[in-house]
Amino acid sequence: MSKNLSELSGRKGLDKNLFEELGRVAAATGTPSLEDLDKIRDEFLMGKSNVYGSVSFYDFLRPENQGKKVYVCNGSACRTAGTQEALTAKLRKHFSTQEIGEMCCLGRCHENSAFHTMGHNYSGRDADNLDTILEKKGTTAEKYQVGNTGTPVLTAPYGPVDTYYSVFREALKKDPLQLLAELKDSGLRGRGGAGFPMAFKLESCRNASDPLKFIVCNADEGDPGAYSDRYIMEERPHALLMGMLLAGYITGARYGVVYIRGEYPESVETINAAIEALQALKLLGENIDGSGFSFDFKVIKAQGAYICGEETALLSSIEGQRPEVRVRPPYPTQQGLFNKPTVVNNVETLANLPYILQYGGNAYAAIGTARSTGTKLISLDGHFNKPGIYEADMGTPLRKVIDDCGGGFRVPVKAMHIGGPLGGLVPVSCIDQLTIDFDSFAREGFLLGHASVVCIPEEYPLIDYLEHLFRFTAHESCGKCFPCRIGSTRGYEMIEKARNSDYKLDRTLLNDLLETLESGSLCALGGGLPLPVKNALKYFEAELNPYFSKP
């Protein structure tokens, strides 16, 4: 990360954004021309290598993306469902091989067969109606279950928008320190995976002396199998936006940036429409409600890079830099976007703030457990009888979520990958040992993370899934640190060789590789990959033994 490049990118503020300009000039053909890149780098005073290095990283900007007209989801849920080969065959009746690309998880994990074309996502049986879709160029109805067990904090309807924002209007009449105290009392921990106390971030940013501060929403929900953030953005957008407004008021931030993954076009449209509604209600801009607090939103559509879910890579992305993970300290609350104090939180975390500041921190803390307060959204994939989004009080037995909410498994399942590609691989034999909270999963050697659930059917070879995880990491690595960049590649090479030849994996060598990834990686991408692999080696030894040399 170059501080000088951050300053150069910030010269024009958010209105003229380098990253957006790269996307704009790529829209027509799928990748920017060299002439367009030269114009952009001259305007932003960036070097040729810096601009090209950024463009060549993103799935939807790199030269290989040129001419693509349809994209097939290659996410874990669609992969284990086994739907994508038949889907691709149907797409080939309408598109040439060169026109078909891939996207990683479109958030249609509840019905699979997911693909993207003409700026919209499709899934389920949509591929059977391609003629109509291509002719009318419209969207199709998407259906999934939404429910709760316990307290409906995020799944409860919030009624008329103007009435809902009375929570924000009342908050503007209070001292920000009073609101921060309520947030501390709530015990709210980040829902993006790390479980970091949110109040600590806000207080750190508030205490920073720089007058210009940012609230950044990490809506780059890239974990295959997760679509809970997408649910909030498309069905409860004002819970997110009010949460950002409240966070901005507490910290003294002037701008809120919603960074939404490019694979979620409907979310981009919904959030933009919700921001327009706020502008009509005069709840944005200068001196809101005469409070002296000013705040505006900026929506940025990402361009396909899982690593941007890591907060410092996301900030570099907004600046138009190559999205590499930054070394900390300094932390974003001290030196974040454009080198200004910045709070980065994910969608679900921010969407909890309206409830906390309406009912009080103690009321929120009364839900869940002492160390994992509140509720958690859970994404269930298409292997359940009732796939969808469910909200559960922290501490709810995992068995209750699977059987009562999800209606049990639709097909025989041997394991669930919970918490994204870096989460734990939970065998069905461990279901009754787990409750939905950070501590239960950590105690049993797993990770709650985003609480997405991707099922591994009994007939799906686990060795194939492990190769998929290594390949995913290798493709999405920012490349900055050696263990992640090289280790993930060596991992899938070894497994591929064991799958397709007489080569046998050496357990000691694999363990050394996992240890290097875990201890040497700069962020959780390389550092988290060993967890599901270790879980697989522990719980599915008999299935994996044929691929290993005998001791």
Distance CA 400, CA 346 (A): 26
Phi, psi angles (nearest 5°) of residue 491: -65, -50
pLDDT in tens, 73-102: 999 999 999 999 999 999 999 999 999 999
Q: Report DSSP state, residue 161.
A: H
- Angle of helix 507-520 relative to helix 530-539, nearest 10 degrees? 150
- pLDDT, residue 546, reads 97
The helix or strand, by DSSP H or E, that contains position 518, with its residue range, turns out to be helix 507-520
Distance CA 512, CA 499 (A): 20
Half-sphere exposure of 230 (CA within 13 A, CB side): 27
- Please answer whether residues 266 and 139 qualify as being in contact, where contact means their C-beta atoms are separated by less than 8 angstroms: yes
pLDDT in tens, 468-504: 999 999 999 999 999 999 999 999 999 999 999 999 9
**How many beta carbons lie within 10 A of that of residue 40, not counting itself?**
19
**How many beta carbons lie within 10 A of that of residue 527, not counting itself?**
18
Distance CA 72, CA 67 (A): 15
Token pair of 95 as six digits: 């598109």
Token pair of 121 as six digits: 């996502």
Residue ranges, the chain, pLDDT below 70:
1-2
Distance CA 531, CA 543 (A): 18
Residue type, 411: V
Phi, psi angles (nearest 5°) of residue 318: -55, -35
pTM of the model: 0.96
Check if 70-143 and 146-365 are the same fold: no
Half-sphere exposure of 521 (CA within 13 A, CB side): 25
Omega before 330 within 30 of 0, i.e. cis = yes
- pLDDT, residue 139, reads 73
Distance CA 188, CA 256 (A): 20
- Angle of helix 18-26 relative to helix 34-44, nearest 10 degrees? 160
Token pair of 499 as six digits: 């799958």
What is the full DSSP assignment across 409-478?
BSS-EEEEEESSTTSEEEEGGGGGG-BSSHHHHHHTT---TT-EEEEEETTS-HHHHHHHHHHHHHHH--
**Cα–Cα separations (whole angstroms), residue 455 to 224, 425, 442:** 11, 9, 20
Distance CA 125, CA 39 (A): 44
- Please answer whether residues 297 and 258 qualify as being in contact, where contact means their C-beta atoms are separated by less than 8 angstroms: yes
Collapsing DSSP to helix, strand or coil, 368 comes out as: strand
Distance CA 293, CA 298 (A): 17
Burial string for 359-387 (b: 16+ CB within 10 Å, else e) reads bebeebbebbbeebbbbbbbbbbbbbebb
- Per 3-state DSSP, what percentage of the chain is helix, strand, and coil (rounded to 5)? 50, 15, 40
What is the full DSSP assignment across 503-516?
--B-HHHHHHHHHH
Domain layout of the chain by residue ranges: 3-65, 70-143, 146-365, 462-547
Fold of domain 146-365: Rossmann fold (3.40.50)
Q: Report DSSP state, residue 135.
A: H
Fold of domain 462-547: de novo design (two linked rop proteins) (1.20.1440)
The helix or strand, by DSSP H or E, that contains position 296, with its residue range, turns out to be strand 296-301
Q: Which CATH number is associated with domain 70-143?
A: 3.40.30.10
Q: Report DSSP state, residue 403.
A: I
What is the full DSSP assignment across 33-53?
-HHHHHHHHHHHT--HHHHHH
- pLDDT, residue 1, reads 47
Token pair of 537 as six digits: 């080696």
Enumerate residues 6+ apart whose C-beta is below 8 A from 98.
67
Token pair of 241 as six digits: 């936006």
pLDDT in tens, 275-301: 999 999 999 999 999 999 999 999 999
539, with CB counted inside 10 A (0-12, 13-18, 19+), is buried
